[in-house]
Amino acid sequence: MKQLLIVLCMLLGILLPYGQVLTPTIRYSVMLLLFWAFLDMELNWQVLKWRHLLVLAAIIVFAFGCWAALAGLDRELALIGFLTAICPTAAMAPAITGFLRGKVAFTTFAVLLNSCALALLIPLALTALLPQAAAVATTEVLIPVLLLVFLPLAVALLFRHFVPAGTRFLLQHKHWALYFFLLNVYIATSKASHYIRFESHIPPGRILLIAAVSLVVCAGSFLIGHYLGGKGLRLESSMVMGRKNTMFGIWLALTFVNPVAAMGPMFYIIFHNAYISWQLYRLPPLPLPQR
C-alpha cells in the first residue's frame, strides 16, 4: 500500500507540478521526520558494535566509489550516484528491521550514528565534488546540514525529558509521519518535473540513465551491507546500508545541485521500497502457538 501511495504521489507531481512552489518546505519536513524518529530512540553507547563502524565506512567508501567509477564518463551522473549512495540510514529502518524479525537495537543505533557522522562529512565532500561553476564554501553547506540533523536531535531529547505526555502522544501517532513523507515526495517530484519541462531540456534517455544509476546504488548498498553483516547481522547491516533517508538526499540535491540530481534519490525510493516489499512478502509466517 505504501509503495502504491509513493508511486501515486510521484505521478501526481509529474502531471500536476504545482507543488514545486513548496520546495523550501522540504527542509522543515525532513527536520520534523527526524525529530519524530529521534523521539523514539535511546542514546545507549553499550549497543555500539564494530560492525556499526564497518557499515558506516562502507557507505562512505561506496559513495566515493560511485563517484570515481562515473566521473570519467559523466560528472553529473557521478554526482547523482554519490548523493544517492551517501544518504544516511532512514528513520524507518528500525521499524522495518522489526517487521523482518531482526535486531532492532542494532539498526536504531545506526540511524543515530550515521545521521550524525555523515552530517559532518557530507558538506566537506560535496564542496569538493561540486562542479567549479556551482562551487560553494564549505560553511554554506556545513551549517544547514548540521542544523538539519542536530537541531531535531537536540529538540527531541529536550522534548522527551520535559514533555513526557506530549512524547507519548506523538509516538502513538507515528503513522502521521508517512503523510509528511508523501507530501515531500510530491513536492520533490513537482520540482523535478517543472525543471525538466520549463527550465532545461532533459531527454528521456537521460532520465533512464539516472534511474539505472539509482538502481545500481540500491542493489549495491543492500548487497554490500548483507556481506558485511557476517552470520549474525546480515539483515540488519543490509538494512542500515540499503534503507536510506532519501529525503535528506533530495534536499541536498535541490539545495546545492539541481532538481535533476534529486531524481537519483527519488528513483531510489521506488527501488528500496520494492525490495523491502519483496522481503516482507517472502517472510515465512510465524508458527502457530501450541495448545
pLDDT tens track for 192-238:
888 878 877 788 899 899 999 999 999 999 999 999 998 889 999 99
Cell output for 279: 522481503
Instruction: Check pLDDT > 70 for residue 159.
Output: yes
Sign of CA dihedral 191, 122, 41, 62: positive
Instruction: Check pLDDT > 80 for residue 141.
Output: no
Of 82 and 131, the one with more pLDDT: 82
236 vs 107: CA distance, rounded Å:
6
Show the domains of the chain with their CATH numbers. Answer: 19-281 (1.20.1530.20)
Lowest pLDDT segment from 33-37, 135-139, 149-153, 196-200: 135-139
Which segment, 37-46, 75-84, 187-196, 199-208, is predicted with the most confidence on average? 75-84
To the nearest whole percent, how much of the chain has pLDDT over 90? Answer: 30
For position 54, what pLDDT does the model report? Answer: 96
Report the chain's mean pLDDT, rounded to a whole number.
85
Of 283 and 168, the one with more pLDDT: 168
Q: Which of 127, 129, 125, 121 minimizes the C-alpha distance to 146?
A: 121
For position 3, what pLDDT does the model report? Answer: 63
Q: pLDDT band at 275, cuts 50/70/90?
A: confident
Compute CA distances 266 → 13, 105, 207, whole Å: 12, 28, 12
85 vs 267: CA distance, rounded Å:
12
Phi (first) and psi of residue 289, to 5 degrees: -65, 145
For position 149, what pLDDT does the model report? Answer: 81
Please write down the HEC assignment for all residues of the chain: CHHHHHHHHHHHHHHCHHHHHHHHHHHHHHHHHHHHHHCCCCCCHHHCCHHHHHHHHHHHHHHHHHHHHHHCCCHHHHHHHHHHHCCCECCCHHHHHHHCCCCHHHHHHHHHHHHHHHHHHHHHHHHHHCCHHHCCCHHHHHHHHHHHHHHHHHHHHHHHHHCHHHHHHHHHCCCHHHHHHHHHHHHHHHHHHHHHHHHCCCCHHHHHHHHHHHHHHHHHHHHHHHHHCCCCCHHHHHHHHHCECHHHHHHHHHHHCCCCCCHHHHHHHHHHHHHHHHHHHCCCCCCCCCC
The residue to which cell 522543515 is assigned: 28
Question: What's this model's pTM, rounded to 2 decimal places?
Answer: 0.83
Mean pLDDT of 238-257: 90
Of 9 and 237, the one with more pLDDT: 237
Q: pLDDT band at 133, cuts 50/70/90?
A: very low
Instruction: Check pLDDT > 90 for residue 173.
Output: no
Q: pLDDT band at 115, cuts 50/70/90?
A: confident
